[in-house]
Structure 1
């Protein structure tokens, strides 16, 4: 029997079990649930079905919240965070948190980026220029939210497919800013700070150097972006994209975002030949909290969602991955080489 490996992500402390012997079991990979595309509130001409736009790319002479746009950013109609006043009725009866019932209000901004005016459902259906515009919208909104001074962290994420958390089929992504720092993000800060104090180096950069020396998980490396499958992957075929120029995401150049979005689009397409068209995935921008932007370099994670969490994962908070990152990277390198 092949030995399973319990691996730890040095950036976050999260653990994964690489159990390749489970790749052959029935139901190891599950198809996504088809999503209905009728009654699309994100389509051009349905602007009244969303909250008013806060940012857009439009044809000259067209007015906000009317047809003529290519990309819109609107407040989420069903936001995760509330406002302190609006959430009061839903809070516990006690006026203050206690030792056994701790809570704080969770307020913030939650926006939806509608990535195209017509009904397309997959990232790979967007053109290279359209996806570059999406990355640019993320950057500009993160900069705006950061400059407002109201928030401590901003999350940028894209859920494609029902199994990845999407509730609508139309291509879209989300931006959530809050005065809260998620525990996983805080742990990344703690580990990055500890590594710097011990070595004087950057944890993310030193990890990349170690990946280069090992070589097995590297997919592609050039002067602008490093692409690899993380050692302690969160999902099968987990791919990480690290820009090498440094700086914060909110100040990323148009050229960098063009190159980065092109790499994401290409790898997302290559994955289709491995796991089938229409696979569900999450795309996330991992960046430091807003008051410590130099804590670690930002990067992008693409995580296909082909396995389900079961009792073990919920009990232990340890992911089980039926395909090794080493094998995933080997397959992706070969397919990229064949594609030229």
Structure 2
């Protein structure tokens, strides 16, 4: 049996570990099934080159990363300002901003794990350009970049893409992280993430990939089974501050982590990816340390981590797995993508 609580310093909350429960009898539903064959180009896909999008605009015949304003944005610059005032204790404020879509590649059948290091560098560089453009606008308080990957997290279009929300407000998780990180910086004069990275390096068991300036690991306090952080070792507040060499290192770690995900069960691994960047609201935000978080929803092939009583009702996350065991599983697989292995070499190795 394994019962313990691990402190999540970036969220200032406890994560309950009960790893033995991952093998409990399960009679509920499962997700997934045989993988669908995805074509290189889909004439019905609104993200493929040359195709018409939802609003009727036709995509150019793009060859690399392609960015456009979302045709169905969740926020926009024309959000109404004259909102009716609700009675106390309720409040209302305008929600405005810019919503964009970033297509990673014209290939409909690839994922971020399959772009290669050069493709990952191109994407990270495009994200840098987008951040500089949007963060420089006085009305933008926060730039959230994220990817929802896989049908189990609600994605209906497999074309490799992410979204950007540049808003006049700061999303709650980032606001909390900025406040917690600022207090830690005031006490220690180091970012909290620097000390998290140092603790992971001292332990070593949960590190999935590392090079000169970047690192990827399942944190000691992971909530999801394969939750992974990818971060530069230097304390940059946002992606745009990274040098070309740091971008290359980050791309290398990102590629290694994502290939391990896919190789674990030889499937396109679903996840929610979010870039944690400091707010752009004019404050200094000392102590904020840019990093990328991956929250994969599966704890076994076809079996989701459901948020239920402890999480929804009690407000504390209960993990059915042990971070050290999950890291060991990922470390045991190759960093050569399973789709690209040489069968002859694999046979010789066996």
Q: Which range, TM-score by smaller chain?
A: 0.7 to 0.9
What's the counterpart of residue 115 of structure 2?
126
More displaced 10-residue stretch of structure 1: 312-321 or 294-303: 312-321
124 and 326 in structure 1: CA distance in 2 versus 1, 3 angstrom threshold: same
272 and 68 in structure 1: CA distance in 2 versus 1, 3 angstrom threshold: closer
Within 5 Å, which residues of 2 pair with 1:183-202?
183-202=172-191
What's the counterpart of residue 74 of structure 1?
68
Q: Is 1:277 aligned to 2:242, yes or no?
A: no
More displaced 10-residue stretch of structure 1: 142-151 or 13-22: 13-22
Q: Is 1:304 aligned to 2:302, yes or no?
A: no
**TM superposition shift of 1:74:** 0.9
Q: Distance in 1 between matches of 2:109 and 2:81?
A: 35
**TM superposition shift of 1:147:** 1.4
Q: Distance in 2 between matches of 1:225 and 1:216?
A: 17
Q: Distance in 1 between matches of 2:29 and 2:266?
A: 11
180 and 264 in structure 1: CA distance in 2 versus 1, 3 angstrom threshold: same
Gaps of 5+ in 2: 299-304, 338-350
Gaps of 5+ in 1: 54-64
Equivalent pair of 1:18/1:324 in contact (CA under 8 Å): yes
What's the counterpart of residue 151 of structure 1?
140
**TM superposition shift of 1:337:** 8.6
TM-score normalised by L of structure 2: 0.81
Q: Distance in 1 between matches of 2:181 and 2:28?
A: 35
**TM superposition shift of 1:185:** 1.4
* SS of the residue 1:6 aligns to: strand
* SS of the residue 1:156 aligns to: strand
Q: Is 1:107 aligned to 2:96, yes or no?
A: yes
Q: Distance in 2 between matches of 1:318 and 1:35?
A: 36
Q: Distance in 1 between matches of 2:326 and 2:240?
A: 31
Q: Distance in 2 between matches of 1:27 and 1:166?
A: 26
Residue correspondences, number: 322
164 and 70 in structure 1: CA distance in 2 versus 1, 3 angstrom threshold: same
TM-score normalised by L of structure 1: 0.84
What is the CA deviation profile of residues 210-259 of structure 1, one whole-angstrom value per residue up to 9, with x for unaligned ones?
Answer: 23333332334432112221122131111111112333311323332232
Give 1:46's match in structure 2, choosing from 29, 51, 55: 51
Q: Is 1:136 aligned to 2:125, yes or no?
A: yes
More displaced 10-residue stretch of structure 1: 240-249 or 103-112: 240-249
CA RMSD of aligned residues (A): 2.9
Give 1:258's match in structure 2, choosing from 248, 251, 256: 248
Q: Is 1:316 aligned to 2:314, yes or no?
A: yes
Equivalent pair of 2:149/2:272 in contact (CA under 8 Å): yes
**TM superposition shift of 1:176:** 0.8
Q: Is 1:18 aligned to 2:7, yes or no?
A: no
Q: Distance in 2 between matches of 1:11 and 1:258?
A: 26
Equivalent pair of 1:51/1:77 in contact (CA under 8 Å): no
**TM superposition shift of 1:336:** 5.5
Q: Distance in 2 between matches of 1:205 and 1:230?
A: 13
Q: Distance in 2 between matches of 1:36 and 1:107?
A: 39
Q: Distance in 2 between matches of 1:210 and 1:68?
A: 43
What is the CA deviation profile of residues 77-99 of structure 1, one whole-angstrom value per residue up to 9, with x for unaligned ones?
Answer: 222224454586xx6xxx22443
Give 1:213's match in structure 2, choosing from 186, 189, 202: 202
